[in-house]
């Protein structure tokens, strides 16, 4: 049972961690990763500054690190899905080999030869210097799958270069954890003065073999948990508990083998967890659910882990070694350049890839910091100082790495970010793709409400004289030039009512090159919902729309009738705030007509539930309901003066 002091420490740490999650968001405004913010808040809350997290907290709360380390191994391995790596396997293989060999060798040598400038290594014997150098060299090989995936998603990057980046990043972390397990055993032997005898090598082989066997067993345990008909919350708890119990079991197993055989056998928890996760992802049908659990639980685990890691840093040492950290970062960057170029040449990659192939691998995060924390736990004498050195390099990588990553993606032309939204020209334009009864009815209803509408069709033999009240455009294919010829930059809304493939092609072109404010898609297959949602499209699913409509008529018939325009004297309208005189004014001070109600305010991609004290900003879109005459008046009031 935990003592009262541990419970109090845990309670205080939870409060700090929750606060850190919110304060760390401010770092995003400066384009810094969230992890950097969490580490900074941890340092600020630690014993060296505010002392909110006490000096004995890391030791008392180490179970948080154990849960987090197991989770980090699960997360790193969950991205290693072999079927997705086949297309770029040759490039992934050679670049991984090049980076591991060059980065490990140069980083290890750099740490060893700069030992005299590192306070805690200055007086160490040669064997200890070699041990810490081996561990640092191993950790510097790792990159950050989480950061890579976040940047790829942000830029909607896709292509062979992006596939190679993700593949190398994930494979490297998988191999690094295995390499670290071996080097940690060697480092312990060096520092403890154990000779490298056949007995040592035999025990090391047993350690690795039993760890692999336990990893396979853990994979079965995880599969059993995922197969239960439990809620995701319960499954998440049991998966985290399984990772934590691995660490507990290893401690007892080490004591048992020491007492029974006279030699301690130390299983590698990270290796066990990474093998278990690998088995679930590649050899069971629960991959999607497992990854969802990892993604949902990740933010909470990382907040606790990185905040606690920041609190453990020795601030005085951090200040003393910042120049060495910058030097080691430079050596790591140079070795990544050499390793990536050599690997790219061996793989036969294009020169434009090889020139920038090193840039995406600068960033480090969870795995690197997790391994540094493990060293701090394994070496009581100088482990904390070692972790401080590694974290210093990680922080530099977190600041410098993401911009280089984005730069590389843009240079090779695989970034697909959203185009800027065109300014409103004073006329509401809509373009509808597809000519059928529903699209025709929609076009006429929009025209009745003052919109200028174009109907676009692939159909041949259409007689435009059959639709004298509609503007119909015939096209042979959808290309960027076709969209430009249709004046899509003037449209406030684009409606897609074709097949899902055709709709997605249109939405993707509009998203990347046009930037139209609203894209409305009629969905044909629900399995395609997510890819349209990622483009920010407004999705109408015919299979559920009718049920939802009937539900609203049953529960709130007046509201449904109003929103559907069934009352001829009432309507709803989205209006952009373009009048600079209204910037900063509160809704309660607008002096609206008594027959107008503002339902919501849309700002920066987020919809706000409005109240009297909500202050308007230029570029806001407000949703207003009321009489048509009053809506016309307020739209003029909000227009540019």
The Cβ of residue 216 has, within 10 Å, a number of other Cβ atoms equal to 14
Q: How far apart are CA 480 and CA 477, in angstroms?
A: 10
What's the pLDDT tens digit per position in 562-601? Answer: 566 566 667 777 788 888 888 888 887 777 776 777 777 8
Q: Determine the pLDDT at residue 571.
A: 73
Could you tell me if 327 and 110 are in contact, meaning their C-beta atoms sit under 8 angstroms apart?
yes
Q: How confident is the model over 273-298, as a mean pLDDT?
A: 88
CATH of range 4-411; options 3.40.640.10, 3.90.220.20, 1.20.1530.20, 1.10.3720.10: 1.20.1530.20
What's the pLDDT tens digit per position in 211-268? Answer: 889 999 999 999 999 999 888 889 999 999 999 999 888 888 888 887 787 777 778 8
| pLDDT of residue 415 exceeding 60 | yes
Query: Would the CATH topology of 429-546 be identical to that of 567-638?
Result: no
Q: Determine the pLDDT at residue 28.
A: 64
Joined tokens for residue 577: 């705030």
| pLDDT of residue 396 exceeding 80 | yes
Does CATH place domain 429-546 in 3.50.50.60? no
Which of 145-154, 179-188, 575-584 has the least mean pLDDT?
145-154
| pLDDT of residue 419 exceeding 60 | yes
pTM of the model: 0.70
Which of 473-487, 506-520, 605-619 has the least mean pLDDT?
605-619
Token look-up 């948990």 returns 225
Q: How far apart are CA 125 and CA 128, in angstroms?
A: 5
Q: Determine the pLDDT at residue 553.
A: 66
What's the pLDDT tens digit per position in 8-31? Answer: 777 778 888 788 777 776 776 666
The Cβ of residue 303 has, within 10 Å, a number of other Cβ atoms equal to 22
Q: Determine the pLDDT at residue 431.
A: 92
Q: In the β-sheet with 493-496, what is the strand arrangement from edge to edge?
A: 471-474, 452-457, 429-433, 493-496, 518-522, 538-540
CA distances from 189 to 29, 68, 137, 323 (A): 46, 26, 17, 30
* DSSP conformational letter for 586: B
List helix spans (H) across 412-540.
437-448, 480-485, 500-509, 529-534
Q: How far apart are CA 542 and CA 548, in angstroms?
A: 10
31: phi > 0 → left, psi -120 to 50 → alpha, else beta; which? left
CA distances from 281 to 80, 216, 278, 289 (A): 8, 12, 5, 10
Residue-averaged pLDDT of the chain? 83
How do the domains of the chain map onto residue ranges?
4-411, 429-546, 567-638
Token look-up 């607008």 returns 590
Q: Which CATH class is domain 567-638?
A: alpha beta
| pLDDT of residue 493 exceeding 80 | yes
434: phi > 0 → left, psi -120 to 50 → alpha, else beta; which? left
| pLDDT of residue 284 exceeding 80 | yes
Q: How confident is the model over 384-398, as a mean pLDDT?
A: 85
Which of 270-274, 451-455, 461-465 has the least mean pLDDT?
461-465
């Amino acid at each position: 049972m935990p003592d009262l002091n541990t419970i109090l420490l845990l309670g205080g740490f939870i409060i700090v961690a929750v606060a850190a999650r919110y304060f760390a968001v401010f770092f995003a405004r400066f384009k810094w990763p969230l992890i950097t913010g969490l580490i900074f808040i941890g340092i600020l809350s630690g014993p060296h500054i505010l002392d909110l997290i006490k000096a004995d907290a890391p030791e008392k709360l180490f179970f948080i690190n154990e849960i987090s380390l197991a989770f980090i191994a699960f997360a790193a391995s969950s991205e290693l899905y072999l079927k997705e790596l086949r297309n770029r396997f040759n490039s992934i293989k050679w670049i991984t080999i090049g980076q591991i060999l060059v980065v490990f060798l140069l980083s290890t040598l750099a740490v060893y030869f700069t030992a005299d400038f590192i306070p805690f290594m200055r007086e160490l014997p040669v064997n200890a210097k070699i041990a810490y150098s081996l561990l640092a060299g191993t950790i510097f090989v790792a990159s950050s799958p989480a950061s890579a995936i976040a940047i790829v998603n942000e830029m909607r990057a896709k292509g062979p270069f992006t596939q190679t980046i993700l593949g190398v990043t994930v494979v490297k972390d998988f191999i690094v954890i295995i390499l670290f397990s071996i080097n940690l055993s060697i480092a312990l032997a060096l520092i403890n003065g154990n000779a490298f005898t056949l007995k040592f090598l035999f025990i090391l082989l047993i350690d690795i073999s039993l760890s692999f066997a336990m990893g396979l067993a853990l994979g079965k345990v995880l599969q059993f948990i995922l197969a239960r008909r439990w809620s995701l919350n319960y499954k998440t708890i049991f998966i985290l508990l399984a990772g934590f119990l691995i660490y507990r079991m290893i401690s007892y197993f080490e004591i048992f083998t020491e007492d029974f055989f006279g030699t301690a056998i130390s299983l590698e928890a990270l290796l066990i967890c990474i093998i278990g996760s690998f088995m679930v992802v590649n050899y069971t049908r629960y991959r999607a659910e497992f990854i969802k659990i990892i993604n949902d639980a990740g933010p909470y685990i990382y907040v606790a882990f990185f905040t606690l890691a920041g609190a453990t840093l020795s601030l005085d040492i951090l200040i003393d070694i910042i120049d060495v950290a910058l030097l080691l970062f430079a050596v790591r960057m140079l070795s990544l350049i050499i390793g990536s170029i050599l690997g790219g040449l061996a793989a036969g990659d294009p020169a434009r890839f090889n020139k920038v192939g090193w840039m995406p691998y600068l960033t480090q995060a969870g795995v690197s910091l997790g391994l540094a924390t493990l060293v701090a736990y394994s070496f009581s004498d100088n482990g904390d100082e070692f972790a401080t050195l590694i974290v210093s390099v990680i922080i530099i990588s977190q600041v410098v790495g993401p911009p280089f990553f984005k730069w590389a993606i843009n240079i090779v032309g695989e970034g697909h970010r959203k185009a800027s939204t065109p300014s409103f020209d004073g006329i509401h334009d809509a373009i509808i793709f597809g000519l059928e009864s529903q699209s025709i009815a929609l076009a006429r209803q929009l025209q009745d409400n003052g919109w200028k509408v174009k109907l676009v069709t692939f159909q041949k033999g259409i007689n435009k004289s059959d639709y004298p009240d509609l503007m119909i455009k015939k096209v042979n294919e959808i290309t960027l030039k076709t969209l430009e010829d249709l004046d899509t930059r003037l449209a406030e809304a684009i409606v897609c009512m074709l097949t899902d493939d055709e709709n997605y092609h249109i939405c993707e072109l509009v998203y990347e090159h046009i930037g139209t404010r609203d894209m409305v898609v009629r969905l044909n297959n629900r399995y395609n919902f997510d890819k349209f949602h990622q483009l920010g499209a407004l999705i109408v699913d015919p299979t559920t729309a009718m049920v939802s409509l009937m539900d609203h008529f049953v529960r709130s018939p007046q509201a449904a009738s109003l929103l559907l325009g069934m009352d001829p004297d009432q309507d709803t309208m989205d209006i952009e705030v373009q009048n600079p005189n209204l910037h900063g004014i509160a809704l309660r001070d607008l002096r609206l007509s008594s027959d107008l109600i503002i339902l919501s305010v849309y700002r920066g991609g987020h919809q706000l539930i409005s109240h009297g004290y909500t202050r308007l900003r230029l570029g806001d879109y407000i949703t207003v309901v009321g009489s048509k005459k009053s809506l016309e008046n307020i739209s003029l009031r909000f227009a540019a003066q």
